[in-house]
Structure 1
């Protein structure tokens, strides 16, 4: 008796899952049919001259990343607003120097 109920339950679950998959396929087909074959952004494509300029800029950025400077300061930095790790460490060291100032100097009897 229980075997019959289990078999009926399994068949019902299979039919229900097939129905859900069919509904999902129909909804996906409807969304896919709304997408045009030719994109509306084809007119906005990048021209060849602009593409070469972009590539040259990217190459110069990569070259600058690989370049090793002989001086202690980067000559290409010109007052950057964005502070990197080195700038933040320098500011922290300056803050520590200015924080711990001696209020008085103690001298012993020898000078």
Structure 2
């Protein structure tokens, strides 16, 4: 299974995302069952970039992901979700934001 397949299956079967599809063989889009943050509406389209835990991503690499999404969609998202696949097949998710953001209060 490819990283795309592993993350897509995890989103659909474990996290119950809907309308999940792969864009241009590099990123997954879909709607989470619940809002990912308190500042996001429940029906917000999210973009997930799959990566292996051993993959070294620089700030330039992450900027390239945002640029490619801008080219595909005609709009640059404010954030993407990084779907990090571990050696045992587990997937953990982290946000990557465009620029700096104010930390949320817990």
TM-score range, shorter chain: under 0.3
| TM-score, normalisation: structure 1 | 0.18
Question: Relative to total residues, which structure has the larger helix share, 1 or 2?
Answer: 1
Larger radius of gyration: 1
Report which of the two has the higher share of strand: 2
TM-score scaled to structure 2, two decimals? 0.19
Query: Structure with the greater relative contact order (CA < 8 A, sep ≥ 6): 1 or 2?
Result: 2
